[in-house]
Amino acid sequence: MIDQLPDSARRVALMLKDRGHPHDVVMLPETGKTSAEAAAGLGCSIAQIAKSILFRRRDDDAPVLVIASGANRVDEAKVAARVGALARADAKFVREKTGYAIGGVCPIGHAVTPVTLIDEDLLALESLWAAAGHPHAVFNLSPQELIELTGAPVVDVALRETAES
């Protein structure tokens, strides 16, 4: 099965296997480039998609990876307060720093180890799906497995809409 995966997804599948991860990489028939597309293809809620969003830290060009619930928008001010001022990461930066194309960025196995933060809202869920190195490739994991695989802290990164009084 691993031999039939695209190169980048095969690399992720082998990494997961080496780390003792119990689930296989799954190829979606349609793209999973967005959280909504991935959720539709998997028959799960958008919240269960652990999306990987990459930023560039202004001070040193370090990659900053935020693994967020697919239901959340990332509050860049909250992230910047933890890691420093942020800038947008274009497709070239994403590919150079992660080794993956946008839409397939996996939480692990990056070309340059990123500063990583995990959205605390993911911990309320039993099962998550994350990109596996290719826009059609995903893998299943629990929030605890995500923490163990990345070693990242769990923080509040979600943009919360506040009602005006």
- In this prediction, residue 32 has a pLDDT band, given cuts at 50, 70 and 90, of confident
Tell me the domains of the chain and their CATH numbers.
2-155 (3.90.960.10)
How far is the CA of 23 from the CAs of 7, 33, 96, 148, in angstroms? 18, 20, 27, 15
- With CA atoms as reference, report the closest residue to 46 among 33, 56, 36, 60: 36
Q: What is the pTM of this model?
A: 0.94
What mean pLDDT is reported for the chain?
95
Please check the confidence at residue 34 and state whether its pLDDT lies above 90: no
